[in-house]
Structure 1
Amino acid sequence: MSRLRLRPLGRSDRGSEALEAAIGVPAFLLFIALIIAGGRLAIADQAVQAAAAEAARSASISRTQGQAHGSAVSGATSSLANQKLQCTSKSVSVDTGGFAAPVGTPASVTATVTCVVNLSDVAIPGLPGTRTITATMSSPLDTYRER
């Protein structure tokens, strides 16, 4: 025959909920902040890749090397603005060496977009205040177009 044990009259579980909340709530908030930071980085990475693709495409349909560089910078800037990605600093570099290839030779234009994303508003211990995201894309030049 088993006997139930009763607690002594002087002891209770009062206050244990407050202790559990003091430990659990900060851990839960840290978890939510990590999800937000990861989502923002994934969205920023996708936006920079789209900007690099737009820069390469804009450069590849230009008629000259000079126009290609200007078109690439303009395309990347407008793509980042359309996606509402605010970079603390950004750079666009374009390799237009394909324009020097003779007609009939396959060539391409390569664009690299670098964006520094501000993460200081997501307060996570150990997370840097900024993150640099870089993407490189290529677009072919028309093989038989006059260069």
Structure 2
Amino acid sequence: MTGGRHRTDRADRTDRTDRTDRTDRGGIAIEAAILVPVLLFFLLVVLAAGRVETAGGVVDAAARDAARSASLARTPAAAQQAGIQAAAVTLAQQGVSCQSISVSVVPAFAQPGTTGTVTATVTCDVPLSDLSVPGMPGHDSLRSAFTSVVDRYRA
């Protein structure tokens, strides 16, 4: 009799295991179908934020280059032209395409023997389709300013 009892217990355990397996079928597929798009969305948001910050760094570099180039010029008109040209070159080299770009150079030249400054402000409207998902509408306006000292002993 004991032998029969073990068979029944084993059969009950097998039946319970089979029922549990049948009710859990497809659970992981449903969880994956829900979670994968959410995780991909968060990944794309993080990538887009990183691209916007990288473009902001390039605009910062363009403002620094514009101010430095303008500070080396001898006249305010030459400073304006050198600043615009330096900013455009930096943006092009780094691959940032602007829908519209504005470079403002404000020289505060002093007499030779005194220190002056040049402030360059670069504003760039970058299309979001270039930064994140291709075809994404809209743009982000990135702005940066930098001040460079004019050499007091320039001729």
Smaller-chain TM-score range? 0.7 to 0.9
Which residue in 2 is equivalent to 1:60? 71
Extract unaligned runs of 5+ from structure 1. none
Runs ≥4 in structure 1, deviation > 2 angstroms?
4-11, 101-105, 120-123
Q: Report the CA distance between 1:6 and its aligned residue.
A: 2.7
User: Which one of 86, 100, 108 corresponds to residue 89 of structure 1?
Assistant: 100
Partners of 2:49 and 2:39 lie apart in 1 by 15
User: Which one of 112, 126, 133 corresponds to residue 117 of structure 1?
Assistant: 126
Aligned-partner residue type, residue 75 of structure 2:
T
User: Which one of 116, 123, 147 corresponds to residue 138 of structure 1?
Assistant: 147
Q: Report the CA distance between 1:84 and its aligned residue.
A: 0.8
Q: 1:13-52 to 2 correspondence within 5 Å?
A: 13-52=24-63
Q: Output the TM-score relative to the length of structure 1.
A: 0.83
Kindly name which structure, 1 or 2, has the bigger radius of gyration based on alpha carbons: 2
Q: How many residues align?
A: 138
Q: Report the CA distance between 1:117 and its aligned residue.
A: 1.6
Aligned-partner residue type, residue 41 of structure 1:
V
**RMSD over aligned Cα, in angstroms?**
2.3
Partners of 1:142 and 1:38 lie apart in 2 by 38
**What fraction of aligned residue pairs are identical, expressed as a percent?**
44
Aligned-partner residue type, residue 53 of structure 1:
R
Q: Report the CA distance between 1:102 and its aligned residue.
A: 2.4
Q: Report the CA distance between 1:142 and its aligned residue.
A: 1.2
Aligned-partner residue type, residue 98 of structure 2:
C
Q: Which has the higher helix share?
A: 2
Which residue in 2 is equivalent to 1:79? 90
> Residues 127 and 137 of structure 2 are in contact (CA less than 8 Å); yes or no, is this contact kept in structure 1?
no
Structure with bigger RCO (C-alpha 8 Å, 6+ apart)? 1
Partners of 2:58 and 2:129 lie apart in 1 by 19
CA offsets 1:56-97 (integer angstroms, 9 cap, x no match): 01100011111110010000000100111111211101111x
Q: Report the CA distance between 1:8 and its aligned residue.
A: 7.8
